[in-house]
Chain A
Amino acid sequence: MTSRINHFPGTSLNEQDFADGKVLFVHDALKAEYAWDTGIAIGTYLAGLKRGVILGAHCRHCRKTVVPPRTVCEWCFRPMSEYIPLQDTGTVNTFSLCYVTWDVRRIKEPEIPAVITLDGASQLGPASLFMGGIMHKLGEVNPEQVHIGMRVKAVWKPEKEREGAITDILYFKPLPKEEA
């Protein structure tokens, strides 16, 4: 249809017109800085990571354990104040192979986010939808071999470098067959 039109009305634009300031626009950047109080539950969790321990919170009423810990059980709304140390081993609940980074670069070797059900944390319901687990990344693994149900173990930062952050765990790697 457009092939029959010889002349478009108006003025066409190209990128150079923007660079030359022929097109007016306003640029502004958001200066937004926050320092979130971690509070009781997450503060305790992060202090645990610094010591190399993953803590979960247990609800006696629901008989469920969640990681990271929280001060309220989302199912029964009772306070949760019982922290229990969990194993740093677990089972892959779900994962993805990501070929675009946080700052939007394409990469050849994928990053592998995974939700890992830790040993010692209860399965939160009969359906896998309700299984709790720690959200982290997998490493030292061939992406093609990652699968749901894979047994993994945390790789920690050296103790002196830990700062009480989720990154005190570098990633989870596959457990050797004999330990799985």
Chain B
Amino acid sequence: MNKEVAIIGVGWSGFHPSTPEVSYKELMYAAAVRAYADAGVDPRRDIESFVTVAEDFIEGTSIFDEYVPDQLGAALKSVHTITGDGLHGLATAYMLIRTGVFDVVAVEGHSKASNIQTLDSIVGHAQDPVLNRPLRLNTHFVAGLEMQRYLHDSGSSLEQCAAVVVKNRHNALKNPLASYSANLTAEDVMQGPPLAWPLGRLETATPVDGSVVIVLASGRKAAELSDNPVWIAGMGWCNGSASLESREWSTLPYVEKAAQMAYRQAGIGDPWDEVDFAEIDDTYAYKELQSLEALGICAFGEAGELLMQGAFDPYGEFPVNASGGSLGVGHLLDATGLHRALEAVLQLRGEAGAHQIEDVHTGLVQSWRGVPTTSAAVAIFDNQEG
């Protein structure tokens, strides 16, 4: 088992639909202070490099890298920002440590979604400016197209997609970080307003504000600093075709490839048997089913049925999004991957509280950058107690 890099500290702040009391910098600071205290490190002395994930259009500031060091304790230190999901940031920090140059690295991601007055328009600018944008469609249409073809080819049903929402928002009842916990029925979900049919509004995660900071250390340093390191056993990432005209609509080959990369490093042959739980993409309800199949946790077309049998419940054979996922907790824009990683770390430490899953050793985390992208990353975490 890979024991090169461990997560030794996690911290978070916010996780509310709006956070008017703090600036994004103060939100980041609160998460960083917690993560550093959790890791037992002084950022000014111990942390050698910092990675943040942010997208300039989302922040409303060009060259956003400039605005991150102070509140992370990173002034006059090695810092860079990448435009990717939180798991891409985690992969970058992992690689920095694997270079042998750095022993302790921090990763940060945040969302101040409540401050963006024209979020749908910003997301619209991810569409191809010449071929797609002139059609003037709200970008959720891409999810509508994908869900339509996925249901058609896989035989999954609208009821099964609605059941993902019911499960995740119900799981969120036990998660104090969650903003959208609720007891709903599949009927409630399907009777909600349509968004991009067959996709309904209630099958779509709602943005929240929040920040997550994760501290990573080399194996040597982790042994010195931490009693409960969570090891990064594997990391993979992959992009598919950006083209709406020629992409694969019913399956997620890029998720499959990213998972294969992570499984190969972690020495995992059959994730259903060798992984204990997963925190994966549920930006849209159908994505949880589609991702489970791409991750090889079950065969194509099987996820919906397994879900209905309770296999993915917190007490099921393979718990999925016991935290409540993005549907229950809220969507943290580019920090979403770090939120999923945070939940997996808490599970592997036995610190997940009321939504703790019993007897877990290996967790899978997967995230997606959202419409219209085909950009995904996968991580395998292990507490080495198995």
Q: A32-B121, A34-B116 are in contact. Are A40 and B23 (CB under 8 A)?
A: yes
B21 at interface by CB-CB < 8 Å: yes
A43, B19: Cα distance in complex, Å? 14
Q: B residues within 8 A CB of A37? A: 19-24, 112, 114-115
- B115 x A26 contact (CB < 8 A): no
Stretch binding the partner chain, chosen from B66-74, B155-163, B194-202, B284-292:
B66-74
- B125 x A74 contact (CB < 8 A): no
B317 at interface by CB-CB < 8 Å: no
B95 at interface by CB-CB < 8 Å: no
- B44 x A32 contact (CB < 8 A): no
Q: A residues within 8 A CB of B1? A: none
- A77 x B44 contact (CB < 8 A): yes
Q: A71-B26, A75-B44 are in contact. Are A35 and B75 (CB under 8 A)?
A: no
B319 at interface by CB-CB < 8 Å: no
Q: A residues within 8 A CB of B69? A: 74
Q: A residues within 8 A CB of B114? A: 37
- Which residues, 12 to 70 on B, are CB-close (under 8 Å) to A? 19-26, 29, 33, 36, 42-44, 57, 60, 69-70
Q: B residues within 8 A CB of A72? A: 29, 70-71, 73
Which among B19, B22, B70, B118 is the interface contact of A33 at CB below 8 angstroms?
Answer: B118
- Chain A interface mostly: loop
What mask results when residues 315 to 348 of chain B are scored 1 for a CB within 8 Å of chain A, else 0? 0000000000000000000000000000000000
B101 at interface by CB-CB < 8 Å: no
- B130 x A36 contact (CB < 8 A): no
Chain B min CB distance to A82 (Å): 16
A70, B69: Cα distance in complex, Å? 13
- Which residues, 164 to 200 on B, are CB-close (under 8 Å) to A? none
Which among A34, A42, A74 is the interface contact of B115 at CB below 8 angstroms?
Answer: A34
- A70 x B130 contact (CB < 8 A): no
- B134 x A26 contact (CB < 8 A): yes
Chain A min CB distance to B238 (Å): 29
- Count class of interface residues, chain A: 20 to 34
A31 at interface by CB-CB < 8 Å: yes
A41 at interface by CB-CB < 8 Å: yes
- A40 x B73 contact (CB < 8 A): no
Among B19, B26, B44, the most chain A Cβ lie within 10 Å of the Cβ of: B26
- B25 x A39 contact (CB < 8 A): yes
A30, B116: Cα distance in complex, Å? 13
Chain A min CB distance to B330 (Å): 17
Q: B residues within 8 A CB of A15? A: none
- A32 x B25 contact (CB < 8 A): no
A40, B129: Cα distance in complex, Å? 39
Q: B residues within 8 A CB of A43? A: 23
Q: Identify the closest chain A residue to B130 (Cβ).
A: A26
Q: A residues within 8 A CB of B117? A: 33-35
Which among A32, A34, A38, A71 is the interface contact of B29 at CB below 8 angstroms?
Answer: A71
Q: A residues within 8 A CB of B75? A: 74-75
- A41 x B130 contact (CB < 8 A): no
- B73 x A36 contact (CB < 8 A): no
Q: Identify the closest chain B residue to A39 (Cβ).
A: B23
A177, B118: Cα distance in complex, Å? 51
A140 at interface by CB-CB < 8 Å: no
A166, B24: Cα distance in complex, Å? 19
- A26 x B129 contact (CB < 8 A): yes
10 contacts between A and B (CB under 8 A): A28-B134, A33-B117, A34-B60, A34-B115, A36-B60, A37-B24, A37-B115, A39-B23, A72-B29, A77-B43
- Nearest 6 Cβ contacts at the A-B interface: A39-B23, A33-B117, A34-B60, A74-B70, A77-B73, A31-B121
Which B residues lie at the A interface, using CB under 8 A?
Answer: 19-26, 29, 33, 36, 42-44, 57, 60, 69-71, 73, 75, 112, 114-118, 121-122, 125, 129-130, 133-134
